[in-house]
Amino acid sequence: MGAVVRRTVAVVAAIVLCLEAVGIVVINGIMATFVNNQNMSLDGIDPDLMAAGTWALGGVSGLFLAVCGALFLVAAARDRGPGRWGRVLLVGCAVVHGVLGALAVGPVGWQAFAFLMSVLGLVVFALLQYGGTEPAGGAEGAPPAGEAPPTSPDKGPVVGDGPARA
């Protein structure tokens, strides 16, 4: 039952992040078109540069969200959590959603806040589903791959919790 929940949450998170990626690119494209059509300068900045910057921001943000969605799809397909850098990227995604949610309340409204907090909760829940469920060495009590078991300086390998006995 745990694997079904893990995979389902990861797939739903992947779908939501990919849809959000498309939405971000579309919204930035609309904003770039408005900036280009108004042909107004903001403190002497060229409107074409502002439109190009808006497109670039939309593309980079969309790519970031699509990569995060792809990480969740891979995690669901393998039923294994993402690696270290994948987790860093996904935690960064969660942090960005939290900060944007807090900043979006004033100018955009509570609906945007609710959406961003929902995505934040989904990303965190999906990360928690894959976090810390497997022992580091693959088997209970086994040292991680590449590490030798602990040894006592005078008696050899340490077995159990107490001191080594002869």
pLDDT of 166 higher than 80: no
Q: Give 149's DSSP letter.
A: P
Q: What is the mean pLDDT of residues 87-112?
A: 94
- Cα 121 to Cα 94: distance, rounded to the nearest angstrom: 8
Report DSSP letters for 32-55, one per residue: HHHHHHHT--BTTB-HHHHHHHHH
pLDDT of 163 higher than 80: no
Task: For strands 151-152 and 156-157, give the pairing.
Answer: antiparallel
User: Which helix (H) or strand (E) covers residue 61, if one does?
Assistant: helix 47-78
Whether this prediction's pTM lies above 0.85 is answered by no
Low-confidence winner among 1-5, 13-17, 123-127, 150-154 (lowest mean pLDDT): 150-154
